[in-house]
Amino acid sequence: MARTALTPVNAPGVFASTKAVAAFTAADVANGNSVACTGRELILAKNANATVAKTITIASSVDPYNRTGDKVISIGAAGEVVIINQHDFTGWIQSDGKLYLNAESTDVSLCVIVLPF
């Protein structure tokens, strides 16, 4: 099945007088999520479970040295939000130009913020 695409939020520039609102989307546990990769992404992952930590996995791809290794990040209970910096996407970008995110639970929601240049 196709992964569920996340719609990134563009962060305003340093001189902007407008705001951007972080819009979280429930993780698609069955299919996984994806987001187009520009190298300027910050991924926010929030855990709504009141008592149990959850994980999110960023799927790796083969890097120039033929290495792989998924990144598994624990998100604490009770609404903890973690920030994942994926500005260097070597070894993470997939053949379709996207990052693949896999959450273990529907308690996890995601927001992708694209930083300005």
pLDDT tens sequence across 95-116: 999 999 999 999 999 999 999 9
Confidence (pTM):
0.91
Q: Give me the percent of the chain exceeding a pLDDT of 90.
A: 81
- Residue 17 placed within a domain: no
Number of domains in the chain: 1
- Residue 66 placed within a domain: yes
- Residue 52 placed within a domain: yes
91 dihedral zone (left: phi>0; alpha: psi -120 to 50; beta): left
Q: Other CB atoms closer than 10 Å to residue 99's CB: what's the count? A: 22
- Residue 82 placed within a domain: yes
Mapped onto helix, strand or coil, the DSSP state of residue 38 is coil
Alpha-carbon dihedral angle through residues 88, 23, 95, 64, given to the nearest 10 degrees:
10
Note the pLDDT of residue 103.
98
- Residue 61 placed within a domain: yes
Low-confidence residues of the chain, pLDDT below 50? Answer: none
Note the pLDDT of residue 90.
87
Note the pLDDT of residue 28.
98
- Residue 18 placed within a domain: no
- Residue 38 placed within a domain: yes
Residues 28-39: pLDDT tens digits? 999 999 999 888
Q: CB under 8 Å to 109, separation ≥6 — which residues?
A: 24, 25, 26, 27, 45, 46, 48
Rounded Cα distance between 56 and 67, Å, is 20
Residue 21 exposed, middle or buried by CB count within 10 Å (0-12, 13-18, 19+): exposed
Note the pLDDT of residue 58.
95
Residue span of the structural domain in which 100 resides: 4-11+31-114
Rounded Cα distance between 67 and 31, Å, is 25
- Residue 19 placed within a domain: no
